[in-house]
Amino acid sequence: MRQVLVLGLAVAALSARAADAPPLPYEAKAKHLGVVNCASSLCHGSISEWKGSNVLQTEYVTWSRVDKHALRANQVLRNDRSRRIAANLGLKQPAHEAKICVDCHGHNPPPELRGERFKAADGVSCEACHGPAENWIKSHVAPGASHEENVRNGLYPTDDPVALARLCLSCHFGNKDKFVTHRIMGAGHPRISFELDTFTQTQPPHFVADDDWQKRKGRWDGVRVWAIGQALAAQESLDVVLDPKRGRDGLFPELVVFDCHACHHPMSDTRWKPRVGTRPGTIRFNDANLLMLRQIVRRTYPADAPVFNDLVLQLHKAVAGEGGDAIEAARRLRKGLDSVVAKLRLREFDDRDLRAILAGLVDDGLAGGYGDYAGAEQASMAIASVLNFLARRGSLPDVRAANAALDRVFETVKDDEKYRLERFQSALGGLKTIVAR
């Protein structure tokens, strides 16, 4: 009872904040002007970094040359795979014109909110992440303009990890408006994998969180970004379960929130092993993000860990028909996550936190906690991020050996269909001896 109260209080504090969450760029009611307005060599299209400027000014060049969001995101809609997906789904339009695809593979604001120079073919363009520029384009270059003022004028706060997670996940998982369903996957869409910190680093980034960035925008803590990304991703999955429209497809629940490989493997390959909260012959909720959160909560808020673990267990049990109502369990866990996020926003992570989280991930893995591919995949990305943070802080004595051991871990999660827990565990064992040195 006491523990439930602890979670409840934080939830009340958070509902106020959720209400004033900024609209996502595609939801905002202002005009989208188009990339050409950002691309001048005096603005963000310089080929070399400007000394003495707050920002790199090369953002457009990075984005247009190496970022998959530019052009490519949209061009893939014209390839054979997309043609096949569109045909299998029976879409009336080709993929590159179909809203269901362009909403994610491009920037697709309503026609009345497109400026004269807006071009749909630009793909996931600047304003798809930074928000429609109509009301901030002038003021953001005015002398002395602050980041807060820009945000007040409609710049999307990509520096805030919660806002950032909502933004990236809106396409890298989906939300109430756009979503890769199991039907779309069944038609041939690839499985989507995402981890906020890793993907922010590989986008590739067109910003440097240096001293001046932190002065303008606050501290950038990659571990916090990772942790909040996990919580928001888990919430997005639970939202699917809770949404009467998205949650069901005919007789069955929407399948993308479950572990893909629970269904997708040959029948001759009998691999089931007992695990807490699951039963043979049942499908499992994809708990990859929840497994990461288990580590995060255990380290950062140990007093909350029993409640959190119990909420997760109740969900697994209800899904497997072992008692309780699954919708109710999903609702309670989702609420509990609100309070985790509220606390994570304020948390800073030091070297000891990093080492404890790393050890927790490795030990959970060695104990067989990542039997499903999706969990092993998230754990690998998390371990890589944590090692990377430690290395950047100069707290990893043998970076070369750690990298080599990490490569061996990644080798075991390269192909989801060939994933074997034993191989993953043995690679983790190698990593453990190196980082423990």
Give the footprint of ligand HEC on this chain (CB under 6 A): 35, 38, 44, 54-55, 59-60, 63, 68-69, 72-73, 76-77, 81-82, 85-86, 89, 95, 98, 100-101, 103-105, 124, 126, 128-130, 158-159, 164, 167-168, 170-172, 174, 178-180, 182, 184-186, 189-193, 199-200, 202-203, 206-207, 213, 217, 255-256, 258, 260, 262-264, 283
Which is nearer to ligand HEC, 44 or 294 (by Cβ)? 44
CA–CA dist 239, 257 (Å, integer): 10
When the beta carbons of 43 and 399 are compared against ligand HEC, the nearer one is: 43
- In eight-state DSSP terms, residue 157 is -
Minimum separation from the CB atom of position 75 to ligand HEC (A): 7
Q: Which is nearer to ligand HEC, 178 or 343 (CB)?
A: 178
Q: Report the 3 state secondary structure along 305-338.
A: HHHHHHHHHHHHHHHCCCCCCHHHHHHHHHHHHH
Cβ proximity to ligand HEC, 12 vs 192, nearer residue:
192
Rounded least distance, CB 76 to ligand HEC, Å: 4
Residue 133 exposure: Cα atoms within 13 Å on the Cβ side: 21
**Residue 128: other Cβ atoms inside 10 A:** 26
**How many alpha carbons fall within 13 Å on the CB side of residue 160?**
18
Residue matched to tokens 């497109």: 114
Minimum gap (Å) between residue 121 Cβ and ligand HEC:
14
**Smallest separation, CB 412 to ligand HEC (Å):** 19
Contact present, 317 and 323 (Cβ < 8 Å): yes
Give dist(CA 289, CA 295) in Å, integer. Answer: 10
> Whole-number minimum distance, CB 68 to ligand HEC, in Å?
4
Backbone angles phi, psi at 233, to 5 degrees: -65, -40
Of 309, 319, 423, residue with least CA distance to 370: 423
Burial 110-119 (b: 16+ CB within 10 A, else e): eeeebbeebe
Provide the minimum distance between the beta carbon of 227 and ligand HEC in the complex, in angstroms, as a whole number: 15
Nearest CB to ligand HEC, comparing residues 201 and 426: 201
* Cβ(8)–Cβ(338) below 8 Å: no
- Beta partners for residue 114, in sequence order: 32
Residue 373 or 424 with smaller CB distance to ligand HEC: 373
Is the separation of the CB atoms in 106 and 34 below 8 Å? no
Closer of 206 and 294 to ligand HEC (Cβ):
206
Q: What are 348's two structure tokens?
A: 């800073």
CB nearer to ligand HEC: pick between 86 and 428 = 86
**97 or 351: CB nearest ligand HEC:** 97
CB of 8 to ligand HEC, least distance (A): 32
What minimum distance in Å lies between the beta carbon of 340 and ligand HEC?
A: 21
Q: How far is the CB of 384 from ligand HEC (least distance, A)?
A: 14
**Minimum gap (Å) between residue 375 Cβ and ligand HEC:** 13
- Among residues 163, 252, 233, 157, the alpha carbon closest in space to that of 195 is found at 233
Cβ nearer to ligand HEC, comparing 179 with 308: 179
User: What single string gives the DSSP state of each residue in 164-229?
Assistant: HHHHHHHHHTB-SS-B--HHHHHTTPPP----HHHHHHHS--S----HHHHHHH----HHHHHHHH
Smallest CA-to-CA distance from 60 within 33, 29, 35 is with 35
Minimum CB–partner distance for residue 22 and ligand HEC (Å):
12
CB 24 within 8 A of CB 167: yes
Residue closer to ligand HEC (CB basis): 88 or 426:
88
